[in-house]
Structures are given as structure tokens and as C-alpha cells.
Structure 1
Amino acid sequence: MDNTINDWRDLAACRDSDPELFFPVSEVGPGARQVADAKAVCARCPVRSQCLDYAIDNRLTDGIFGGTTEAERRQLARRRHADRHVA
């Protein structure tokens, strides 16, 4: 695996967290609390932007990455795509 990717992952705030926290069944109801808890971990992460870029670049559809849900990443990806075409 690419050492650059390993480097940012080694610094991730979620590294010692239960991975299941970042894969809520739903974003509503009881899952909303899990999403909030996962995002709280991301909020204190020094490599949050690298994580988010990785998730968008690799079109990850499940889980919380870089403090975003799949729906939020989809919206960001659309904006990035539109910005590239405007520039």
C-alpha cells in the first residue's frame, strides 16, 4: 500500500475508535446520535481533510469520512466537479 496514505491514516483521530461508530445504519432516529458521535471524533482530527479527499476521490458511499456523511460527500463532489468545469 502507498506509504503516503498510511502516513495520514496513522494520525487519524478515529484510529483507536470502534470502526462501527463510523458506519451508522441510518442518519435519522437512533442513528442520528451515532452520526453526531462520529462527527465529533472527526472534528478533532488533524487529518480530516485528507480523509475527506480520500473518500470523495474513491467514491466511498458508506460511513462517516472527514466529518461527512455519504449524502454530504456527494454534494461536495458535485460542487468540486462544477467548480472544475467553471474554471
Structure 2
Amino acid sequence: MSVDEIKIKVKDSLKRLLEIGEQEVTDQEDLNQLGMDSMSSVNLVVELEEMFDIVFDDEELLFENFSTVQKITDIVERKLVLPQ
């Protein structure tokens, strides 16, 4: 799966979870400013794990790792490339 495909899926999930419709989400935009809170973060993590068939380690579950689309894409890409 390409980085662009990952990014599209991440953005689609965020738009649905944050209920922001078709609003454009940039790669570096602070998701907290779009309404990302602890509950939506947990929902996003669960959805990403199911969508990409990955598991995030406890030490990876920091808000800073999920604060922008780019950071989320990077961590998902690493999980897909590295063996579980």
C-alpha cells in the first residue's frame, strides 16, 4: 500500500470520526484544532488497527504520534513495513 493510499484512508476516517464532512484536512494541521479529543483518539486507533491489520504498542499511543495526518501516516507506514 502506498503512502498516498494510507493518507487517504486516514483522512477519510478522521473526517468521519470528527464529523467535519468534506472540510479539507492538511497533512500538518493540528487535529486538536479540528476537535480531536481523547475519545476520538481511541476510536481512531481502534479503527486504524482494524483497517490496516496492525497493532500499536502501548508506548506508541501518545497523542503527539496522532496529532497530524502526516504523523499518523508515518506511524501506520512503519507498522506496515516492519514485521509485527
In the superposition, the TM-score normalised over structure 2's length comes to 0.36
- Greater RCO (CA < 8 Å, at least 6 residues apart): 2
Larger Rg: 1
